[in-house]
Amino acid sequence: MESNQDDLVSVIIPFYNEKFYFEECIQSVLSQSYKNLEIIIVNDGSDAEFKTILTNLKNINKDKIFLYHKENGGVASARNLGIQKAKGKFISFIDADDVWLPNKIEHQINIIKQKNLNFIHGSYYVLDKNLKLKGKFIPSSINYKDLLKSCDIGLSTVTLSANVIRENLFPNISTKEDYVCWLNIAKKINFLYADKEVVTVYRKRDDSLSAKFLIKFLNAFKVYNIYENFGVIKSLFYTFRLSIYYLFKENIIRNKNLYPINFNYLSDLKKLSFEKSFMLVALNMASLSYMSLLYENYKNIIFWLDGVCAKFIIKNFTKTAGRKVIEKISIPEKIENVYLCGKKSEKQQKYIEKKINRKIGFIELPFFDNFQETSMYKLKFNNNSLIFLNIATPKQEIIAKNILKFNSSKKIFIFCLGGGIAMAAGEEKIVPENIERLNLEWLWRLKTDTFFRLKRLIRTGLVFVFKKLFNYFNKINFRELI
């Protein structure tokens, strides 16, 4: 549906020393399909280095970003300053470590206009600090009475009328400030409309204020006792009830809403289509063990059948070794740029150039100590680019996710081939046919880098066995692309 983008939407982002995730956050706002936006960043007394970063960002986006600095006073005062400065008819909030999907604003403004709403909130994914998708929350439209039981409104999913929020500013409280705000609004609006489409990725972090249970409990008590003027006994009852509803909600987020997840796989790689962006990943013990890292991008992922463990998941299992993938694909002429990314290797580069009959570029990736460090690495590519990754699972999949995320408006095709390219290029000995037929190539590879590979094998093997024993894979559907 084509949307009317006449109304200005003000996006308010409070910022305080956000080192890891802000670039992804601001990029997700700048990349919105709804273009009539002003982005108001309120720097809440961050360190000097961040003031410089924010100023440079503002200078690059002078017509879009408006930056305000203030002494540290908390997220509520930062949002309130943003509301005061906002010129939009509607206001959307996003925290500096959360992410919007590209159609978030356009989708919500369409619904607001269709249904004549003053307030909308939406569904969201929950991501942990290690990039694992922990769950999905799907809210219901809610009134004041229901909201008293459980705060089911994700702040970074909210878009509302500027007039409404100006009359109901955030109170100065370290957490639950948004809860008080929504309660005040719910007293004046019959219901707060909830949309079922996921529009936001919420990052749940152990170091955040909202993660500290005691602070949450005390502030919940303040919500009822001070801001709702309930007595002490009634406030304690409502606080305990809110905690119980929170536990129920966490169970729903983690174990119900997220599943089933539908992944696609190809038995015949010659049928691989280059019509929309994808990441091609081996379905083997490693990817099955780290499956939760792939949930966020499940629509963009195509598996090919590789390891013996896939036999337990796919009935019509037909193995294709990683070293044979390049031989089985046909790359269209419309692909303008091809790159090898990862470990420097002239042999691998020449091998790929020979197989696809065109020159390719090379981008060397640094060594990443952990998943979080890997997730911070960002690469930009031109449209119609094909990328071969030659680093180990699951870091190559995390890099692939980042590439798709930060090139969301472009067609990007990523092959996560790991050590398969090294073997195909002759840097590693090719697995003998009899070993491959028995699906024992993992044992063959232990001949080199034995300690590293054995450690990884034990870890992923134990995770896979655990997930298989507890029927984890029953929650996931693997559908063949025909």
What the block records as the tokens of 416 is 């996560």
Q: How far apart are CA 470 and CA 465, in angstroms?
A: 9
| Identity of the residue numbered 75 | V
| pLDDT at residue 70 greater than cutoff 60 | yes
Whether CATH 3.20.20.140 fits 9-206: no
Task: Classify burial at 85, counting beta carbons within 10 Å of its beta carbon; exposed 0-12, middle 13-18, buried 19 or more.
Answer: middle
Question: What is 175-203 written as a DSSP string?
Answer: SSHHHHHHHHHHHHSS-BEEEEEEEEEEE
Q: How far apart are CA 430 and CA 323, in angstroms?
A: 9
Three-class SS state of 21: coil
In degrees, to the nearest 5, what angle opens at C-alpha 69 toward C-alphas 63 and 70?
Answer: 150
Task: Classify burial at 348, counting beta carbons within 10 Å of its beta carbon; exposed 0-12, middle 13-18, buried 19 or more.
Answer: buried
- Sheet with 261-266: strands ordered across: 361-364, 337-342, 385-389, 412-416, 278-283, 301-305, 261-266, 476-480
Residue 125 has what pLDDT?
A: 92
Encode pLDDT of 344-358 as tens digits: 999 999 999 999 988
CB–CB of 141/261 below 8 Å?
A: no
Residue 470 has what pLDDT?
A: 85
Residue among 165, 157, 188 nearest 81 (CA): 165
| pLDDT at residue 208 greater than cutoff 60 | no
Q: Whose structure tokens read 């880098």?
A: 449
Between the alpha carbon of residue 442 and those of residues 103, 292, 318, the distances in Å are 43, 23, 17
Encode pLDDT of 236-282 as tens digits: 999 999 999 998 998 898 888 888 889 999 998 988 999 999 999 99
pTM of the model: 0.78
What the block records as the tokens of 173 is 């409280």
Between the alpha carbon of residue 176 and those of residues 122, 218, 309, 404, the distances in Å are 18, 10, 46, 34
CB–CB of 45/73 below 8 Å?
A: yes
Encode pLDDT of 373-418 as tens digits: 887 788 889 999 999 999 988 899 999 988 998 887 889 999 999 8
Encode pLDDT of 10-49 as tens digits: 999 999 999 888 988 998 999 899 999 999 999 999 999 9
Cβ-based neighbour number of residue 411 at 10 Å: 19
Q: Report which of residues 148 and 208 the model is more confident about.
A: 148
CB–CB of 180/144 below 8 Å?
A: no
Residue 215 has what pLDDT?
A: 80
| Identity of the residue numbered 209 | L
Tell me the domain boundaries of the chain.
9-206, 262-480
